[in-house]
Amino acid sequence: YFQKFLLKFEQQQISVRLLSKLSNEDFNKCGVETIGARQTLREYAAKYNIIFTSHDKL
């Protein structure tokens, strides 16, 4: 489902680590127009950031 946004994220040089910091306007520019999709992406990004932040501290 979220693969359809991947090209836009790549074009805008948006990494997974940045997803949780995007505004609703930023998401809209990337074609993510629904609240549910935005929130789901933010949740995945937060989980990713926790995993890699914990790993970096090891």
Mean pLDDT by 10 residues, the chain (58 residues): 88 92 95 95 89 62
Q: Which residues of 1-14 are buried (b: 16+ CB within 10 A; e: fewer)?
A: eeeebeeebeeeeb
Q: Which domain holds residue 39?
A: 3-57
Q: What is the maximal distance between C-alpha atoms in the chain?
A: 37
User: What pLDDT, on a 0 to 100 scale, did the predictor assign at position 25?
Assistant: 97
Between CA 47 and CA 53 the distance in angstroms is 10
Number of domains in the chain: 1
